[in-house]
Every structure is written in structure tokens, then in C-alpha cells.
Amino acid sequence: MFRSAILRAGKVSPRTIVQPQLFGTQRVAWTGFSSIRFNSSDSSAVSDAAAGAASKVSEIQTQLPSFDENTIETVSQVGQVIGDASNQIGYLSSIGMAKSWLWPPDLIQNVMEQIHFYAGLPWWATICVTTVLARVLLFPLYVKYSDTLGRTSKIKPEMDKVNADLMACSDTTKAQQIAMKRRKLLSENGIKNRYLIVPVVQIPIAISFFTSIREMCLYPVDGLATQGIAWFQNLTLADPYLGLQCLTAAMFVALARKGGESGAQQFSPQMKKVFTYLPILTIPVTMNLSAGVVLYLAVNGVCSMIQTLLLRNQTARKFLNIAEVVNHPAPENQGPQKGVFESFRENIQKAKDQAEKRAMMKEQDDKMKDLAKKEKENQRIKIVRKK
């Protein structure tokens, strides 16, 4: 009431103020009070001032650009620039990744970037292709590993006897003779123990894949959030249905049942139980990992299973010249099979006894060397008699 009374009395100069909204095109006009004049003015002057203010406001409205259109255009241009840059070689290096071709995680990131750019594959397919490529490069080593296990299975009874004699021996000279016999037995059957470390070689490769893909998902690299497949469209987030985790666990359980990645390993029933339940425990452990990381684990498990089935096939083994696995019957005096923990304790005790015997043999060997040295020095002493 006070405001309307003042305006009717002509004692206020009206001012129209326009407040543009930042994220909309609507402009709100409202009437404010610039000053209260106590001198009586003509109503025509007030109307002229209001008309001038309205014309200035309309002129400002026509001159101001549309903030929303410019913002949308700018954001779209920035997004297009980032998208174009992410599809070029060197994008990962520009954001602090893939700095070297020598460090394994950086090497894998460089290879994935090359495949993603030149093959034009989405990121989920890039991860799969890179994983398969790594398994193909490792396949010849697994062929040698499976062949070594097959050749070793043929001479298992002789090797067990030689190893038992070597463990029970306490004489240095006799132990050397047994070791020479063992070395000759391996050489005659074409067995090279260096291929037995092939499964260990895959461990740093798996760690490098895990580290590189996890770093890319945590950044995240442009495209990983939209270039997924099936139920995991966003590779930077965890699998919402745990499908990849269950697939990985199933592959490793089947892998243990089929004799490992070489297809020739012979696990005891107790070890098979351990390898059956252990992969199931990995499901809650990996449930919060990015889908890109678990995708690598699942594809790696599928490749391992395919490799196992191939190396167990008789036709494939003959074509690749892999020795057949010979299953020898268990000795009659072996007794019932021992449990996992009992076997573990027995192996630790055997290793401890062997270490003590080796220390004793080394001590005896040092004593023999000292005696031989003293005898050699005594031979140089000449007894001189005075005439």
C-alpha cells in the first residue's frame, strides 16, 4: 500500500531493471526505487524518464548475446576437440600415460593405443585383442612347458628314486655322483628344466595388464565410459551384475580340473579341491574393480581354457611334437593320501632336513680342504741337520 501510494503521488522515479538468467532466456522485469524526491515534479517528466529507461532496456536486450547458445556451442566444441584428440596416437602420452616402450605397463598402453587407432576398434574390443595377442605370443613357451612335463612323467619313478637318494645322502662325494646321475638321466630324455618356469613368466605380464588398464579406467581415458558392450557399457565402473567375475571364476575352476594351462599337470585330489574353491573367493575380492580390468581377467581365463583343451588334444600334441603324459600307478607301500596341510608340513620338514644336511656336508668339505692344504704345506718343509 505504501509503495502504490508513493507512486500515485508522483514522488518516485520508476526504474525498470532486467535480470538475465544464466541458464535460460527468460528475463524478469521489476520496478525498483532509485530515489524519493520530496519536491513536487510534473507527471510528464516522470513519464518521459520511464520511457527513456524502457528504450535503453530494450536496446540492451537486443544487444546482449544468447548465453545459452554460446555455452552449448562452446561445450560441444570442447567435447569434439577432446574426442578428436583421444582418437590420435599420442593421446595417452599427453595425459601422463604410455611414456615408454620399455616399462611393461607403459608398453601395454602403447600397444592398446596402436590397436585402438589403426584397427578402429572400441575399447572393449581393444582390451580383448591385446589380451589374445599376448597369449598367442606366450603359446610356444607353453608348448615347451607341456612337452617337458610329458617327458618328465615318463621317468618319474627313476627321478623319485634319485631324488630320495640325494636327500638321504650325507657324503659330499656320493652326493655329487648322485647329482651327476640325475643330470645324465635328464639329458638322455631331452628334459630342460628351464621351461618349468614358464608359468612364473606370466605373473609379471598379468600384473602389467592389471596396472595399465586400471590406471586408464581411473583417469578415465576418453571413450572407456561409452565404448563397452552388453551389460557393461561403462568400462570405468564396476560390473553391476558380477557377470565378468563369475565367468573368470568358472574358467579357472575348469582350468584346474583339466590339468592347468599345460594340460599335463597332475594335481592331487586335495589340490583340486583347493583350486576349485579358491577362484570362487575371488568374486567378492574383484567385485569393486572396473569392468575394463575384470574384462581382461575374463578374457585371459577363456584363453587359458582354450589353450588347455588344445594341449590336451591328442592330434594337436602329435602335430606340435609334444610328449604324451604317462600316468604311473601309485606304489603299494605309499599308504593313504595325505591332506594338503600335512603334505605342506612334510615338505617344509624335508626342506629343513635337506638344508641341515647341506650345511653339514659343506662343513665336512671345508675340513677336508683345510687338511689337504696343511698336508701340502707340510710337504714343502725340509729337515736340515747340522754336521
C-alpha cell at 4: 502504490
The DSSP H or E segment spanning 27 is strand 27-36
In sequence order, the β-bridge partners of residue 33 are 14
Tell me the torsion sign for CA atoms 179, 181, 184, 186: negative
Q: Tell me the domain boundaries of the chain.
A: 2-64, 104-319, 338-379
Residue whose C-alpha cell reads 579406467 in the numeric block = 217
Q: d(Cα 226, Cα 124) in Å, to the nearest integer?
A: 10
Q: d(Cα 5, Cα 12) in Å, to the nearest integer?
A: 10
Q: d(Cα 260, Cα 149) in Å, to the nearest integer?
A: 12
Per-residue pLDDT at 36: 43
Q: How does pLDDT run along the chain (387 residues), one tens digit per residue? A: 444 444 444 444 444 444 444 333 344 444 444 444 444 445 555 456 556 665 654 554 454 444 455 554 554 454 454 445 667 888 999 999 999 999 999 999 999 999 999 999 999 999 999 999 999 999 999 999 999 988 998 888 888 888 888 777 767 778 788 889 889 998 988 888 888 898 898 899 999 999 999 999 999 999 999 999 999 999 999 999 999 999 999 998 888 888 788 776 767 777 777 888 888 889 999 999 999 999 999 999 999 999 999 998 889 999 999 988 887 776 655 555 555 556 667 767 777 777 777 777 778 778 888 888 887 777 765 555 666
Neighbouring CB atoms inside 10 A of 123's CB total 25
* Class of residue 230 by CB neighbours under 10 A (exposed 0-12, middle 13-18, buried 19+): exposed
Per-residue pLDDT at 53: 60
Q: d(Cα 204, Cα 107) in Å, to the nearest integer?
A: 13
Per-residue pLDDT at 353: 75
Vertex 183: Cα angle to 182 and 187 (nearest 5): 120
SS3 (DSSP) at 30: strand
CB 259 within 8 A of CB 269: no
Q: d(Cα 139, Cα 97) in Å, to the nearest integer?
A: 28
Q: d(Cα 322, Cα 121) in Å, to the nearest integer?
A: 36
Residue whose C-alpha cell reads 594351462 in the numeric block = 261
CB 64 within 8 A of CB 20: yes
CB 335 within 8 A of CB 282: no
SS3 (DSSP) at 143: helix
Identity of residue 120: G
C-alpha cell at 103: 616399462
